[in-house]
Amino acid sequence: MADIIVPELAESITEGTIAQWLKQPGDTVEKGEFIVELETDKVNVEVISEEAGVVSELLAAEGDTVQVGQIIARVGAGSGSAAPAPVAETKAAEASTPAEAPKTVPVAVETTSEQDRTIASPAARKLAREKGINLSEISPVDPMGRVRVQDVSAHSTAPAPTKAAPTTAATATSEDDGRFTREKMSRRRQTIASRLLEVRQSTAMLTTFNEIDMTNVMALRSRKKDKFFDDHDVRLGFMSFFTKAVVAALKKYPYVNSQIDGDYIVKNNFFDIGIAVSTEGGLVVPIVRDADRKNFAEIEDNIGQLAKKARDNKLALSDMSGGSFTITNGGVFGSLLSTPILNGTQVGILGMHTIQKRPIAVGEEIQIRPMMYVALSYDHRVIDGKDSVGFLKMVKELLESPEDLMLNS
């Protein structure tokens, strides 16, 4: 018999959530084969079985929170030919003959009371005990009748019934009538929410704005994109231009590339640029390492690979740790102007926006030009207005003279 244990995830991560069981009791598993997917604050991690055999029992359900080092499943010897009974059948069997009940379902079922006969995950039972909730009163979402943590949480936050007035069809409001949909936030979404709130509460964040005439960048990209693709097998986008411009501006304004450590300001002598990527699970920020040492093709290739890993949910913790500055592009969703929020301990983030043609004064003439608003959010405890405005102005000037940017990179 081999135990499946939650592995060490990262220095700052001590728990995760069971996102998906890839194997069920009775399934055959090979040594090194993935058995469960864990969702952590930053990435999803697939856990392997260290032994070959048959999954004998699962000790946690999908949606349960588990700790590093916790045993979550067991693998025993066997051929896997005898699959366990469905949950509904197991419930009936356990209710009638508890002494002979199979132990392939990770729940505790007894016949002493209606609550004890309710099928529930261990974590759900624990939470129900802490909140003083009778499991038999909970309406689970699971069609098989299994109560999970989210069911307990939803029940505990539901308004208590009142006896002051009778409930009629005209006045009744419930989630069952289709007017509401309650969706539990994923672990990642909860982490994003708490960290964004923490940033707003713990920093003196301000935002300064400017606008960039994208005429020359777009013209240069149009002229060079085919040859660029032929030479490097990667497409020339705008992100490499912005990344290079940001690196050049960070070198001139080093406090924008820093962080606070107690009473010290730590200026980073490296340029690891985070590129925000939107995924179904939320925003993630993989890092382009040593962006100052990479050319345009290497940056575009790096961004493309990281974006694909993010969309495929294959990012590793090492892909997202240690960035010194972040670029986020709300323009891909049509955002004209926004105020980006600082990323973690960083003191600066650049927000890109959609390119929109607008009338602009060029000398004594009015011309229609493709313009982009850009925003720099910064921690005013470290960065003064002079540096923030100067940084953003330099980014603007470099992008309006892209030939110089490419020649000097």
Domain segments of the chain as ranges: 2-76, 201-407
Q: Does residue 232 have an active-site annotation?
A: no
Q: Answer yes or no: CATH 3.40.50.2020 is held by domain 2-76.
A: no
Please give the C-alpha separations between residue 317 and each of 43, 276, 284, 314, in angstroms, as whole numbers.
7, 15, 11, 10
Q: What is the pLDDT of residue 79?
A: 53
Q: At what angle do helices 296-311 and 239-252 cross, to 10 degrees?
A: 110
Q: In whole angstroms, give the CA distance from residue 376 to residue 391.
A: 9
Low-confidence ranges of the chain (pLDDT < 50): 80-113, 162-173
pLDDT at 159: 58
Check: CB of residue 342 under 8 Å from CB of residue 348.
yes
Superfamily of domain 201-407 in the CATH hierarchy: Chloramphenicol acetyltransferase-like domain (3.30.559.10)
Per-residue pLDDT at 180 = 86
Please compute Rg for the chain using Cα positions: 27
- pLDDT at position 146 is 66
380 belongs to the catalytic site = yes
Res 258: pLDDT? 96
Catalytic residue among 3, 226, 231, 384: 384
Q: Please tell me which residue in 261, 380, 387, 404 is annotated as part of the active site.
A: 380
Which pLDDT score, from 0 to 100, does residue 72 have?
Answer: 92
Q: What's the DSSP call for residue 189?
A: H
